[in-house]
Structure 1
Amino acid sequence: MKIRHALLAVAAVTAVLPGATAHAAPQDAARYTEYVALGDSWAADATFTQITTAFTPVNCVQSARNYGKQVAQALGVPVFRDATCGGATTRNMTAPQTSVLGTNAPQFDRLTPTTDLVTLEIGGNDAELAATVMECVTADPAATPCLDAHVSADGADRMSQNLLAAESRVIATIDGIRERSPHARILLLDYFQGVDLDGGCFPEIPISDPDAIWLGHKLLELHEMLARVADTTGVDFVNTYEGSAGHDACRPVGTRWVEGLMPFSGNPVGLAVPFHPNQLGADYQAVRVLETLGVN
């Protein structure tokens, strides 16, 4: 999803780190020969600790051990391109992302007619859900800044409307992949449960319970929207939401798969991007992708 804060600081910690995976290459690994990973910061598994610029500029904060790289290594694909970039929307499939730290070319530029495997995780920034998380932060446990800003007196929820509007853009993105790579198997990932549906953990994460519950249900709506897109377009759906309960940002180090407000992680130890997957979350995403591909 979108990351707006502390991007200039990553220049000081940029590093190209070797990839790692716990998965062995399957016997039929040669089935896929050209894999392209597309998506936003949850696909890049954005990090300030193990950034790589092997595929994208530093402003993409792409992890050297994100799920795309783990899947590529597990499959043993001879050609892999990782276009994922923090802050990406569906627009950035065909338009570049530019900041003072660099430019990531349009993500579709990595697709070719011979691409035979594509993973895609996108939609959170189109709905502006990622940016909204920081709006919920408050010093008052009774305050509800997100509910006040996004839900009207008559119950209309602007974020729910945004999520519905993003659906057609994700469908169009899949159509664009098929136009450029007609023989590719396409896997669409959702976003796993980063916020518990029953509430938060104020003051550890300074978001009130009502706003945390609202955020949790918006993530559920995002999951449901992407599941509909997969069904509508006939692509494979990688359901990372299922099985992720109990691993939200309020859980202790070693249990949580997504970090909270503090920009520090225990997996790996070091600077983290708030409200994004840590290495345990990236590993879980990789496992679910490989399961969908029939690789255990």
Structure 2
Amino acid sequence: MRRTTSVLATTLFTAALGVGVAVPATAKVSPPKANHHSIKTSPYVALGDSYASAAGVAPLVAGAPATCSRSTLNFAHDLAAATQPRSFTDVTCSGAKTADFYGSQAPGVAPQLDAVTKKTRFVTMTIGGNDEDVFTSSFFGCATISATDVLGNPCQRKYGTTFTDAIVNQTYPNVLAALKAVRKKAPAATIAIVGYPQILPEVGRLDCYRSMPIAMGDVPWLKHEQDVLNAVIARAARHAGARFIDMAASSRGHDACAPVGTRWIEPAIAPVNAFPVHPNATGEAAMAEQTLLQLGL
């Protein structure tokens, strides 16, 4: 049991640092072709974090900074394949926070907003999950203590509302400011911020503990945390004049506890062609599909 949680802690920490080993790709679901007359989709700029870059999903974009783990199968590339923009720029980067829109995330990685200009007409992203280190602190923290009470909620008892408070009080204004900064640089653009797909099922499952060793009572608590994160991102989008792409309904049943071929999120232990607790190629294609559908493209 201790070895299992140690492995999870190591894999989650590795993902947080933006380091991973790619394995053979799984089949990708192609998004539908878009009718891109109502919304201009060129020039198109893709921003965001590891859920936008498709961290760990082979093949990676040639020449991109290694720290960004930027995949050719990320949802932005799927959207570009569907909409065929004349100009497409992908600056997504694993581990990105809203602060990395304004400053360099790592040597050789320019501030993401540098890619956005007044000529930009379409911008997509996922962002906010890394702010205040909420994602890594919550999942990493839960992994290290889950073995102490597998059927209980040791993580919730330890952290209480720490993470949701940080999301509401700090992540929300950060995301709002980032979206407003994008709008300022690209006043004519359609800006779409994609919600994070469901990572965990509604309730804890013992049969999933081997691959996602989170205590049963902490599963709904962590899912609530993700729901709060998506809710503040949606609110920020409304207030900034951006479009929120809701992944909640479509990703239900495709969480990290679902079997290979059904899941959109890879588990913490033995993930297939994606960083632990990150979307696989099928999940990225689903994010592209929902973006097309919800924008009416």
Range into which the TM-score falls when normalised by the shorter chain: 0.7 to 0.9
Q: Give SS of 1:62's match.
A: coil
Structure with higher strand content: 1
Matches within 5 A, 1:146-157: 146-151=155-160, 157=161
Q: Deviations over 1:103-140 (max 9, x none)?
A: 32110010111001111211111142320212211334
Structure with higher helix content: 2
Task: Report the Cα distance in structure 2 between the residues aligned to 1:233 and 1:9, rounded to whole angstroms.
Answer: 33
Task: Report the Cα distance in structure 1 between the residues aligned to 2:285 and 2:186, rounded to whole angstroms.
Answer: 27
Please report how far the alpha carbon of residue 210 of structure 1 lies from its aligned counterpart in structure 2 after TM superposition: 1.2
> 5+ residue gaps in structure 2?
1-10
Matches within 5 A, 1:54-93: 54=63, 56-93=64-101
User: Do 1:118 and 1:186's aligned partners in 2 also have CA atoms closer than 8 Å?
Assistant: yes
Q: Deviations over 1:38-81 (max 9, x none)?
A: 11101111115322244x31111111111001111211101111
Larger RCO (CA within 8 A; separation ≥ 6): 2
Q: Is 1:229 aligned with 2:231? A: no
> 5+ residue gaps in structure 1?
152-156, 266-270
Q: Which residue matches 1:26?
A: 35
Q: Give SS of 1:36's match.
A: strand
Task: Report the Cα distance in structure 2 between the residues aligned to 1:223 and 1:46, rounded to whole angstroms.
Answer: 20
Q: 1:3 to 1:76 in 2, by over 3 A?
A: farther
Q: Give SS of 2:58's match.
A: coil
Moved more, 138-147 or 33-42: 138-147
Query: Cα RMSD (Å) of the superposition?
Result: 2.6
Match of 1:285 among 273, 281, 287: 287
Please report how far the alpha carbon of residue 257 of structure 1 lies from its aligned counterpart in structure 2 after TM superposition: 0.7
What percentage of residue pairs aligned between the two structures are identical?
A: 32
Q: 1:130 to 1:27 in 2, by over 3 A?
A: closer
Task: Report the Cα distance in structure 1 between the residues aligned to 2:12 and 2:289, rounded to whole angstroms.
Answer: 25
Q: Is 1:214 aligned with 2:221? A: yes
Task: Report the Cα distance in structure 2 between the residues aligned to 1:160 and 1:30, rounded to whole angstroms.
Answer: 35
TM-score, normalised on structure 2?
0.85
Please report how far the alpha carbon of residue 25 of structure 1 lies from its aligned counterpart in structure 2 after TM superposition: 5.2
Q: 1:13 to 1:45 in 2, by over 3 A?
A: closer
Q: Which residue matches 1:178?
A: 183
Paired amino acid for 2:176: I
Q: Give SS of 1:129's match.
A: helix
TM-score, normalised on structure 1?
0.85
Task: Report the Cα distance in structure 1 between the residues aligned to 2:196 and 2:22, rounded to whole angstroms.
Answer: 27
User: Do 1:30 and 1:76's aligned partners in 2 also have CA atoms closer than 8 Å?
Assistant: no
Paired amino acid for 1:179: K
Q: Give SS of 1:81's match.
A: strand
Q: Give SS of 1:242's match.
A: helix
Matches within 5 A, 1:245-260: 245-260=252-267
For this pair of structures, how many residues does the alignment match?
Answer: 276
Q: Which residue matches 1:45?
A: 54
Task: Report the Cα distance in structure 1 between the residues aligned to 2:191 and 2:36, rounded to whole angstroms.
Answer: 21
Q: Give SS of 2:193's match.
A: strand
Q: Give SS of 1:168's match.
A: helix
Q: Which residue matches 1:134?
A: 140
Q: Deviations over 1:203-230 (max 9, x none)?
A: 3321111111211111111111112112
Please report how far the alpha carbon of residue 160 of structure 1 lies from its aligned counterpart in structure 2 after TM superposition: 1.0
User: Do 1:47 and 1:63's aligned partners in 2 also have CA atoms closer than 8 Å?
Assistant: yes
